[in-house]
Structure formats: C-alpha cells, structure tokens
C-alpha cells in the first residue's frame, strides 16, 4: 500500500527497541516493554512497522567459527585485469563459500574480500585453487587476522 521505503523516521522508542534486539534478538517483547515502560502491543506495532519498512532485514544466530574448526580469518585485496570484469568476478566468488564478504572499493584494490578458513592448508587451497581460478583476477594481497579485537554492530 504505502511506498514509504525512503521515509525512515525513527523516534526514540524505535531506536531503543532496535538497540536492545541488535545485541540479543532472543529477548521477549514483554521484557522490552517493561524496560521501556510501554505495553507489549506497542513493541509489536513498532517492530512490524520497521519490518515493513525493510529496516529490519532478519535475525541471525551468531556462532563462534573457531569453536567449529574455522580458525583463520583473512582479508584479500583483489586486483582485476579490467574493472569491467567486476560483475563476472562477483558471481564466481559467490560460489566460493569461504568468501563471506565482498566489497567493490576505492583505493589500490579493485575488490576487497573477507574469507574464513579452517587452517593454513585450507587457506592455501582457497587462495591458490579457488580464488586464483576466478577469471579476471590478476593477483591478490592477503592480510591474515591474528586477532579480532572488535566485532559489533553500529550503535544507534
């Protein structure tokens, strides 16, 4: 009905609801209602509004990759032979499940990727066989993350 996708006017209440649920999406509406001193129904209405406005994209279970054997996180600066090969490269990189993030960036690299691997062998395999096999990729630079010191969402 209403095409108000651009029209994002969040008041204090909306913002506070998001802040709480962004940290722990399992907190029940009733508890949020108590904290913010409104009724549970109000929380529900606000959440529905924000879902309709596509502000809320979903809810993810956060797991610790290291605990299930994925020990290495690395960033990849990717140089393409030609910038025009970007779209094809994206499609091919999507097929590599170890690539969890990919950005088209300004600066020295054409693209920038984040990858998660089990161990150094796995990383070498992904870099040498999978990534280098993608058409259009000239060369890559690897930054291995030895420690993830901060990992959070934006604060509202």
Give residues in contact with a copy of itself (CB under 8 A).
Answer: 5, 8, 10, 18, 21-26, 53-65, 67-70, 73, 75, 90, 93-94, 97-109, 111-113, 116, 141-156
Which residues lie closer than 8 Å to 96 by C-beta, 6 or more apart? 115, 126, 130, 131, 134
Q: Which of residues 48-87 bind DNA (CB under 7 A)?
A: 48
| DSSP three-state, residue 94 | helix
Query: Phi and psi (nearest 5°) for 116?
Result: -120, 125
Q: Which of a copy of itself, DNA, none is residue 57 near (CB under 5 to 8 Å by kind)? A: a copy of itself
Q: Binding of DNA at residue 42 (CB under 7 A)?
A: yes
DSSP 8-state symbol, 153: P
Residue whose CB is less far from a copy of itself, 1 or 154: 154
Least distance in Å: CB of 28 to DNA? 3
Q: Binding of DNA at residue 39 (CB under 7 A)?
A: yes
Q: Which of DNA, a copy of itself, none is residue 29 near (CB under 5 to 8 Å by kind)? A: DNA
Q: Which of DNA, a copy of itself, none is residue 44 near (CB under 5 to 8 Å by kind)? A: DNA
What end-to-end distance do the CA atoms of the chain give, in Å? Answer: 28
Decide: 48 and 41 in contact? Cβ < 8 Å.
no
Which residues lie closer than 8 Å to 61 by C-beta, 6 or more apart? none
Q: Binding of DNA at residue 5 (CB under 7 A)?
A: no
Decide: 142 and 74 in contact? Cβ < 8 Å.
yes
Binding footprint of DNA on the chain (CB under 7 A): 13, 28-31, 38-42, 44-48
């Amino acid at each position: 009905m209403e095409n108000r996708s651009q029209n994002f006017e969040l008041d204090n209440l909306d913002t506070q609801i998001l802040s709480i649920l962004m940290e722990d999406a399992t907190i029940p509406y009733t508890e949020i209602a108590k904290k913010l001193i409104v009724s549970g129904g109000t929380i529900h209405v606000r959440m529905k509004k924000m879902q309709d406005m596509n502000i809320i994209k979903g809810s993810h279970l956060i797991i610790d990759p290291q605990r299930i054997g994925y020990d290495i996180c690395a960033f990849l600066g990717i140089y393409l032979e030609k910038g025009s090969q970007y779209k094809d490269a994206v499609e091919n990189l999507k097929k590599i499940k170890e690539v969890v993030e990919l950005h088209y960036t300004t600066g020295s690299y054409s693209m920038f990727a984040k990858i998660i691997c089990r161990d150094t062998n796995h990383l070498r395999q992904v870099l040498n066989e999978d990534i280098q096999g993608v058409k259009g990729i000239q060369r890559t630079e690897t930054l291995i993350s030895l420690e993830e010191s901060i990992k959070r969402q934006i604060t509202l």
